[in-house]
């Protein structure tokens, strides 16, 4: 599954979003298609060029407006609804516009239909919003994630920072605001609305394919938006490691304890030889526990081992995708575990018990059976 991560280290705006997605490989010609589908050819010009802000080089998109037409909220919605764009793009664009309208309505205490969006009611806002979602659609992005957003402080043009409209837009979305010592607007209402309509505010586990940088208008080093494009990697968080040292417990009892812990729901149990205090040989026992079983597994460990205490460490883990298939071989059928990343098979592992059964039935060395099963599975999955 293709995912995108918006790294908003210098903030986000509509034009920075367009630039970053074009820099990720989206067709620049699609921006012209956006203008045409919105029927804004008489109002808008699009310029795409390479620029740098310090060491950050990328794509800058300039959306120019010839004769500015300020539209009401209903007029903005109508333009999007009548556009020749994919339905999913229009749905997200309308969501973003509705968020902008609600924000301005709450700030000014007026019904949405009476709100004047001023600079947000122009053709450039329409191009930014529809263009962003259309470029994501063209890149086949299925999920969007976003970093914390920089939150400056102070007053700019008589308005507090961060901009009230931007704050209202991301209200209740789970966005994380990171205080910084700046005195300029970094997150525009349009940029905030794009993220609010499609993003989850967390950093995903992903395999990276490409990074695009969208250059902002302010000429300061590092003024860019980064978009990471790649494949989702399955991640399970909030795993707890339950550890203890054992130096006075018989090895056969430790083996039984490990089996019992696995039967009780442990994700994994490992035992490592260790040298204890006073030079005594012992063992380090580690149990990987899901959050809901930490209490019961800890209780089991305290009750059925000689330890007087355990250590708990909360960690995140990242796991590859996996599935089990059954393959036919000249020796018989066997299950095989398939390791996947980004939906693609990477490797296979024959099921030990199945291969062991075949080896006994056929009187063949287990290693030969596992080799035959592995080769059959790799052929079936196109990994040869």
Q: How far apart (Å, rounded) are the C-alpha atoms in residues 32 and 10? A: 27
Check pLDDT > 80 for residue 119: no
- Main-chain phi, psi angles of 142, to 5 degrees: -100, -25
Q: Map residue 353 onto helix, strand or coil.
A: helix
- Report pLDDT digits (tens) over 38-77: 999 889 999 999 999 998 899 999 999 887 777 888 889 9
Greater confidence, 253 or 112? 253
pLDDT of residue 295: 93
- Report pLDDT digits (tens) over 280-299: 899 999 999 988 899 999 99
pLDDT of residue 66: 86
* pLDDT band (50, 70, 90) for residue 121: low
- Report pLDDT digits (tens) over 207-252: 899 999 999 999 999 999 999 999 887 656 678 999 999 999 999 9
Query: Bridge-partner residues for 12, per DSSP?
Result: 187
The pair of structure tokens assigned to 305 is: 């081992």
Contact status, residue 34 vs residue 130, Cβ threshold 8 Å: yes
pLDDT of residue 207: 85
pLDDT of residue 117: 62
Query: Bridge-partner residues for 156, per DSSP?
Result: 159
> What average pLDDT does this structure show over 6-30?
97
How, if at all, do strands 143-146 and 199-200 pair?
A: parallel
Within its chain, how far is the Cα of 216 from the centroid? Answer: 23
**Please, where in the chain does CATH 3.10.20.300 lie?**
321-381
**Please, where in the chain does CATH 3.30.70.1380 lie?**
236-318
Check pLDDT > 80 for residue 108: no
Tell me what the pLDDT averaged over the chain comes to: 91
* pLDDT band (50, 70, 90) for residue 380: very high
Q: Which of 33, 116, 34, 126 is nearest to 77 (CA)?
A: 126
For domain 236-318, the CATH architecture is 2-Layer Sandwich (3.30)
- Report pLDDT digits (tens) over 92-105: 999 999 999 898 88
Contact status, residue 336 vs residue 327, Cβ threshold 8 Å: yes
pLDDT of residue 114: 63
pLDDT of residue 319: 80
Query: Bridge-partner residues for 323, per DSSP?
Result: 338
Q: How far apart (Å, rounded) are the C-alpha atoms in residues 348 and 207? A: 20
- Report pLDDT digits (tens) over 130-168: 999 999 999 999 999 999 999 998 887 777 888 898 999
In the chain, the DSSP E strands lie at 2-7, 44-53, 56-65, 143-146, 149-151, 154-156, 159-161, 177-179, 199-200, 206-215, 224-232, 235-246, 268-275, 281-289, 311-318, 321-329, 332-341, 344-350
The pair of structure tokens assigned to 18 is: 């367009």
- Report pLDDT digits (tens) over 187-196: 999 999 999 9
Q: Class of the 321-381 domain? A: alpha beta
Check pLDDT > 80 for residue 113: no
pLDDT of residue 362: 94
Q: How far apart (Å, rounded) are the C-alpha atoms in residues 244 and 306? A: 10
Greater confidence, 184 or 83? 83
Q: How far apart (Å, rounded) are the C-alpha atoms in residues 36 and 136? A: 18
Would the pTM count as exceeding 0.95?
Answer: no
pLDDT of residue 118: 57
């Amino acid at each position: 599954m293709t995912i995108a991560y918006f790294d908003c280290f210098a903030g986000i705006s509509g034009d920075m979003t367009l630039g970053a997605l074009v820099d990720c490989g989206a067709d620049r010609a699609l921006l012209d298609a956006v203008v045409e589908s919105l029927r804004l050819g008489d109002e808008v010009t699009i310029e795409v060029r390479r620029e740098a802000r310090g060491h950050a080089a990328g794509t800058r998109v300039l959306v120019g407006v010839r004769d500015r037409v300020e539209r009401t909220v209903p007029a903005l919605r109508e333009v999007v609804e009548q556009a020749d764009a994919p339905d999913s793009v229009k749905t997200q664009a309308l969501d973003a516009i509705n968020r902008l309208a609600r924000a301005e309505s709450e700030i000014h205490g007026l019904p949405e239909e009476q709100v004047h969006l001023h600079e947000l009611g122009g053709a450039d806002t329409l191009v930014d919003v529809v263009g962003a979602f259309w470029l994501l659609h063209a890149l086949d992005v299925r999920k969007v994630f976003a970093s914390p957003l920089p939150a400056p402080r102070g007053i700019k043009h008589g308005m507090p920072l961060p901009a009230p409209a931007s704050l209202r837009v991301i209200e209740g979305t789970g966005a994380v605001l990171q205080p910084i010592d700046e005195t300029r607007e970094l997150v525009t209402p349009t940029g905030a609305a794009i993220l609010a309509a499609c993003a989850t505010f967390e950093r995903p586990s992903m395999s990276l394919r490409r990074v695009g940088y969208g250059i902002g208008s302010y000429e300061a080093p590092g003024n860019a938006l980064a978009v990471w494009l790649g494949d989702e990697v399955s991640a399970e968080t909030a795993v707890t490691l339950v550890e203890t040292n054992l130096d006075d417990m018989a090895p056969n009892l430790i083996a039984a304890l490990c089996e019992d812990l696995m039967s009780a729901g442990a994700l994994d149990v490992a035992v490592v030889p260790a040298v204890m205090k006073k030079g005594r040989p012992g063992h380090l026992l580690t149990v990987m526990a899901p959050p809901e079983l930490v209490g019961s597994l800890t209780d089991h460990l305290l009750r059925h081992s000689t330890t007087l205490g355990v250590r708990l460490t909360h960690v995140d883990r990242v796991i590859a995708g996996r599935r089990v298939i059954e393959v036919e071989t000249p020796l018989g059928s066997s299950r095989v575990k398939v390791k996947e990343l980004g939906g693609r098979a990477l490797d296979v592992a024959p099921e030990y018990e199945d291969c062991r059964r075949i080896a006994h039935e056929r009187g063949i060395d287990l290693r030969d059976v596992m080799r035959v099963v592995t080769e059959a599975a790799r052929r079936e999955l196109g990994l040869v």
